[in-house]
Amino acid sequence: MALPFDQHEGEIWFDGSFVEWKDAKLHVLSHGLHYGSAVFEGERAYGGSIFECEAHTDRLFASAEALGFQMPYSKEAINAAKRETVARMGLTDAYVRPIAWRGSEMMGVSAQKNSIHVAIAAWAWPSYFDPALREKGIRLDISDWRRPDPRTIPCHAKAAGLYMICTLSKHAAESKGYQDALMYDYRGHIAEATGANVFFIKDGVIHTPTPDCFLDGITRRTVIRLARERGIEVNQRTIMPEEMADFEECFLTGTAAEVTPVGEIGPYSFVPGAITKTLIEAYAEAVQPAHAALRDVA
């Protein structure tokens, strides 16, 4: 059984200073726990360097603003704290999790007087999905839950409360033997997986949903740039579920998922092909330039 996260060894940056991992605690009556008033980021470090560190911090601050609270530290301080956390943990390849939440001064829907707390943790975390599945692609169920109308949630914030339907969707999928689930949006259009963006390929062209009610992922934007730099057309548009019958390849992107091939979504099948493999390699080179240089020399 994997070690519970509250039992790891090391240090966590907590409200401006480092504390022992086991001592990084919040009160049970924290507003963030009861009302989901928390925002976070998921980042990866490769070779000791956090990929798109500043972009993730920019989004963390934008998410906090969307939830109506102000970060108590500057972006520069958060960037420095993330890098120091990775270094103090003695990690080179790592997952990095900054999180900010409302404290416990007020307990109720209103929380204007609550202090804002920030913590940053880092740990070793290999592939999000079983590497053995990557060759033929992971299997996705189709979720019963849908990404909500942007008039009902702050859909472009990476906010804790917005992930409950993702947890429900992933649990349901895993109970059926799938690795993840595809979610439609409130209109019935294809949206995303539970924690990653989705791409499809047909006739050498990449198609991906327009992120108008879900996160425009940082990895998503990176992969789109990498594809276009290689002369691959990328079409961001509305995609209907029935179109999956005609797509040839499919893959997911995300900080945790990186670029992960998909072999099946419900009744639809895909075969990881040349474009998917090209982008897996391109992303690996983008996040690990030192390693890529070594391969080129070899």
Here the CATH number for the domain that contains residue 171 is 3.20.10.10
255 and 108 within one domain: no
Q: What count of residues does the chain have? A: 298
Mean pLDDT of 161-165: 97
Q: Which residue spans within 103-240 are E strands per DSSP?
A: 116-123, 138-147, 180-185, 190-193, 197-202, 205-209, 234-237
Please determine, for residue 32, whether its predicted confidence score (pLDDT) is greater than 90. Answer: yes
Q: Are residues 145 and 232 in the same domain?
A: yes
Distance set, CA 14 to CA 120, 143, 230, 241, 286 (Å): 7, 36, 42, 44, 31
Cα dihedral across residues 166, 171, 172, 173: positive or negative:
positive
Decide if pLDDT at 296 tops 50: no
Same domain (yes/no): 98, 206? no
Domain boundary among 123, 155, 175: 123
Domain identity same for 231 and 90: no
The Cα–Cα gap between 287 and 215 comes to 21
| 295: in domain | no
Task: State the CATH number of the domain containing residue 39.
Answer: 3.30.470.10
Residue 61: its pLDDT value, please? 98
Q: Are residues 150 and 115 in the same domain?
A: no
Single residue among 123, 139, 174 that ends a domain in this structure: 123
Mean per-residue pLDDT of the chain: 94
Choice between 136 and 292, residue whose per-residue pLDDT is larger? 136
Reported confidence tier of residue 289, pLDDT bands at 50, 70, 90: low
119 and 74 co-located in one domain = yes
pLDDT at residue 130 tops 80: no
Which DSSP symbol is given to 159? B
Average pLDDT over residues 153-182: 97
Could you tell me if 259 and 181 lie in one domain?
Answer: yes
Residue 211 covered by a domain: yes
Please pick, among 22, 25, 113, 158, the residue that the annotation labels catalytic: 158
Q: Residue 56's domain spans which residues?
A: 8-123
Q: Are residues 162 and 192 in the same domain?
A: yes
Q: For residue range 171-226, list pLDDT tens digits in order.
A: 999 999 999 999 999 999 999 999 999 999 999 999 999 999 999 999 999 999 99
Do both 140 and 221 map to the same domain? yes
Write down the pLDDT at residue 126.
80
- Structurally, how many domains does the chain consist of? 2
Q: Is the pLDDT of residue 293 over 60?
A: no
Tell me the pLDDT tens digit for each residue of 88-115: 999 999 999 999 999 999 999 999 999 9
* pTM of this structure: 0.93
**Residue 67 lies inside a defined structural domain of this protein:** yes
Question: Within this chain, do residues 154 and 90 fall inside the same structural domain, yes or no?
Answer: no
Residues 152 and 284 in one domain: yes
pLDDT at 280: 95
pLDDT over 70 percentage in the chain: 96
Residue 132 pLDDT exceeds 90: no
- Of 92, 123, 154, the one marking the end of a domain is 123
Residue 1 lies in a domain: no
Burial 201-211 (b: 16+ CB within 10 A, else e): beeeebbbbeb
158 included as an active-site residue:
yes
Judge whether 239 lies within some domain: yes
116 and 142 housed in the same domain: no
1 pLDDT band, cuts 50/70/90, is low
